[in-house]
Amino acid sequence: MIQIHAKKIKTGRIRDPFAAAEILQFCALTNHGDLQYARLVFDRMEEPNCFSFNTIIRAFSETNNQSIESLIIFGQMLYNEFVEPNRFTFPSVLKACAKMRRIEEGKQVHCQIIKRGLGLDIDEFIVSNLVRMYAICGLMKDARKLFDKSGVTTKESISDGNVVLWNVMIDGYIRIGDFDSARQLFDLMPQRSVVSWNGMIAGYAQNGYFKEALEIFQKMQLENGCPNYVTLVSVLPAISRLGALELGKWVHLYCGRNKIEVDDVLGSALIDMYSKCGSIEKAIQVFERLPRRNPVTWNAIIGGLSVHGRAVDALDYFDKMEMEGVKPTDVCYISVLSACSHAGLVDEGRLYFDQMVRIDGLDPRIEHYGCMVDLLGRAGLFEEAEEFISKMPIKPDGVIWKALLGACKMHGNIEMGQRVAKKLMDLAPSDSGSYVALSNIYASLGDWEGVSAVRLMMKEKDIRKNPGCSWIELDGTIHEFLVEDESHPRAREIRLMLEEMSEKLRLNGYKPDTKQVLLNMDEEERESLVFHHSEKIAVAFGLISTKRNAPLQIVKNLRICGDCHSSMKFISRIYNRRIIVRDRNRFHHFENGVCSCMDYW
């Protein structure tokens, strides 16, 4: 192209606006072009026409970090008395304003559109870009006014351009966190593209609305939508968080049936899903079959093995990763240190922390320090843990003190527990965790005055304990339970099963552990309360709803308590069931009266 350009210059044909425009278009908009060269060509054009202006404006608007050039050139166009912007100019200028969040310039461009008679009834592409610009810049009221006036809300006006406009509006509401408006528009859409479905699924999943993300995904299937690669990558994190294994398996099968390549990105999401849904063996299978691996896929499998308490396997994969020449990331070291912590591998943890700093040259983050404090605290090495904290180059935050407070609770270290809890209360006065942990320490010792003092403090500060919540997936449906929950349609059957479980547990030597009950009541009431914890209700529902010997998988939002941990071991043996419980920190695999954590959690 440079040779052709040179020949046109040599022959004088470059002065022809159409010949120059061809050179400009090739340099600016083709894969083989050169945008900087295109700018030089444009700057040397004696009389650039509207087409040339539009070409260079569009090229810069589509280039990251150079969108400002579009506005500069558009300004030159406005000052050029021989050239008028047309309907092809404004979409690119608006796109540039949206990319840079330049709302004031965007409003000025909007005024130019009105001034030149390019109103709402002229061009839906201009309207779409106006709406997008206002939506991306967070001015949803302005975006909504244009949207409502555009006429795209009628079924008679269905077109690809209009679907794009609906998607832009929904995305705008999601960006500002107005999910009610986003969902309202989504439900009203006369026609949805795969982009529409993906936008809602990703929006919900990325903002913590996991059940809603799965609801949209299932609705997509019912309405014969065709999930694509982006859909699956977007929905898998929601499936992971809810532990919806059957739905996750369906997604994996869908990849194979529809020839969707399981690359490193989708592969990492599948590994994470299987790990968090309790099927670590399937996660290993996915990892081993990946055509290529990167630090993210290695992190996924090492992290999965870590949360399942398979510390030796996690460290083995870490060694394999290094042998393949992949440098560990700081995220990977969090998983490795966490694995050491859950397995009580103190010496190994110290060595890996030292390797991270001295050999791999990584600066520890607060999470790494938290893992080390947790490792030392769990092992009862309180003096070393405090010394480690005192030598940290960064100020300890709630993560550090919570790790130490958890260890104090585990080992009954009252004196240190009180000091640490007070530090936490000063750091995060509205966080219920430190108050509850201190109450638990007092309750375990039968110090009801201490418990009352903490509860009074919580009441005065209007701090509420996060309620325990557990859920179980059956046939693709998530069933959720709270403490003493009677709201389920099968509540009567669940209650009868709980009574049966209670009787069988007692006959097999189980004794309720009521030390963690933070209420001063008689022993019978305390036993009743612990036996109606949410995970026990979920297990009871699973026992009446599944075939004999079928495994049960429960997810809990908090750390499993000592009584539930003990009773799950008995239940697994009495009912001959494999029970997998994922709590806030890790997985517990109960089988034949034994837990995979070996009672070290």
- DSSP line for 574-590: HTT--EEEE-SS-EEEE
Across the beta sheet with 477-482, the strand order is: 477-482, 469-474, 552-556, 579-582, 587-591, 594-595
Radius of gyration of the chain (CA): 31
Q: How far is CA 250 from the centre of its chain?
A: 20
**Which has more pLDDT, 520 or 422?**
422
Same fold, 48-198 and 364-465: yes
What is the average per-residue pLDDT within 163-183? 88
Other Cβ atoms closer than 10 A to 562: 18
- Residues 93, 108: contact at Cβ < 8 Å? no
48-198 CATH fold: 1.25.40
**Which has more pLDDT, 384 or 562?**
384
Is residue 491 pLDDT above 90, yes or no?
Answer: yes
> What pLDDT, on the 0 to 100 scale, is given for residue 498?
94
Task: Report residue 14's pLDDT band, with 50, 70 and 90 as the boundaries.
Answer: low
Task: Report residue 2's pLDDT band, with 50, 70 and 90 as the boundaries.
Answer: low
By the 10 Å C-beta count (0-12 exposed, 13-18 middle, 19+ buried), 545 is classed as middle
Is residue 464 pLDDT above 90, yes or no?
Answer: no
Amino acid found at 552: L
Q: What is the average pLDDT score of the chain?
A: 86
Amino acid found at 237: P
Other Cβ atoms closer than 10 A to 70: 26
**Is 364-465 a CATH 1.25.40.10 domain?**
yes
Domain boundaries, the chain: 48-198, 364-465, 469-595
